[in-house]
Amino acid sequence: MAGNWKMYKTPAETHNYIEAFKPLVAASTHCDIVLCPPFPNLPAAVAEAAGTTIGIGAQNLHWGKEGAVTGEVSGHMLQAVGCSHVIIAHSERRQYFKESEPEVVKKVEAALEWGLTPIVCVGELLAEREAGRTEDVLSEQFDGGLAPLTPEQFAKIVIAYEPVWAIGTGKVATPQMASDAHRFIRSKVTARFGAEAGAAVRILYGGSVKPDNVKGLMAEEEIDGALVGGASLDPKSFAAIVNY
């Protein structure tokens, strides 16, 4: 269960959030829990989560180790700060920052090199779904961004299926729609990396997950977890999702 805070909260707010969140999930050993705050809040998040099972992730990284790349942050730096995860290719990165599949591959490889678990996002736009192109888009994203990985690299990643039309809109995909997309992604994994990899890969659903719809989504065998935006900004609400 991963919380994507996007561009919300200061370091002080991060500290207060995790202080309140910790006791609510102290007994939640049924899943991995990850919070992904903005870059400046990562040290405060790592410090406050120390000694708990809560992992801290970033929302993006650059593939280089260091260099003249103004405004970017490397996997090396995220590792040094104590991150365990990093979100890659969120649809907002794809849409607003034009991240492309070749960059996804480079970012995943860099994350793995620095010991970070990549949470790689895929998903179709509303127009693509309405045009019946959902599977084509998922195929393009898988073939371009994930198929080039080695089986060893692929074994360490988490996939998040996030239909773009469901993000921040309150329009959650039905459990059936999400499940169908997950099954399709899993079939791509099986075709490229084998049945064992297909069965083992964790596929999270993201897009308007809330405390009152998480249970129905998690009841689907294909759905292994959730990547939560808006509803992860409040510790009680995110804890309710974790403890669905």
Q: How far is the CB of 62 from ligand PGA (least distance, A)?
A: 20
Distance in angstroms (rounded) separating the CA atoms of residues 112 and 163: 25
Using CB under 6 A, pick the residue from 61, 230, 238, 242 that binds ligand PGA.
Answer: 230
First-to-last alpha carbon distance for the chain, in angstroms, is 10
Query: Closest separation between CB of residue 231 and ligand PGA, Å?
Result: 6
When binding is defined by CB under 6 A, the residue of 75, 145, 229, 235 that contacts ligand PGA is: 229
Does position 209 interact with ligand PGA (CB under 6 A)? The reply is yes
How many residues sit close enough to ligand PGA to count as binding (CB under 6 A)? 13
Residue 222: what residue type? Answer: E
Residue 208 is a binding residue for ligand PGA (CB under 6 A): yes
Half-sphere exposure for 128 (CA within 13 Å, toward CB)? 15
Nearer to ligand PGA, 54 or 231 (CB): 231
Beta pairing class for 225-228 and 117-122 = unpaired
Burial of residue 109, with CB atoms counted within 10 A of its CB: 0-12 exposed, 13-18 middle, 19 or more buried: middle
Q: Name the residue whose CB lies closest to ligand PGA.
A: 229
The verdict on whether 90 is a catalytic residue reads yes
Footprint of ligand PGA on residues 132-191 (CB under 6 A)?
162, 167-168
Using only C-alpha atoms, the chain has a radius of gyration, in whole angstroms, of 17
Stretch that binds ligand PGA, among 67-75, 129-137, 190-198, 203-211 (CB under 6 A): 203-211
Cβ-based burial of 215 (10 A; exposed 0-12, middle 13-18, buried ≥19): exposed
Annotated catalytic residue, options 48, 62, 85, 90: 90
Judge whether 116 and 158 are in contact, CB under 8 Å: no
Let me know how long the chain is: 244
Among 227, 239, 241, 242, binds ligand PGA (CB under 6 A): 227
Binding site for ligand PGA (CB under 6 A): 4, 162, 167-168, 206-209, 227-231
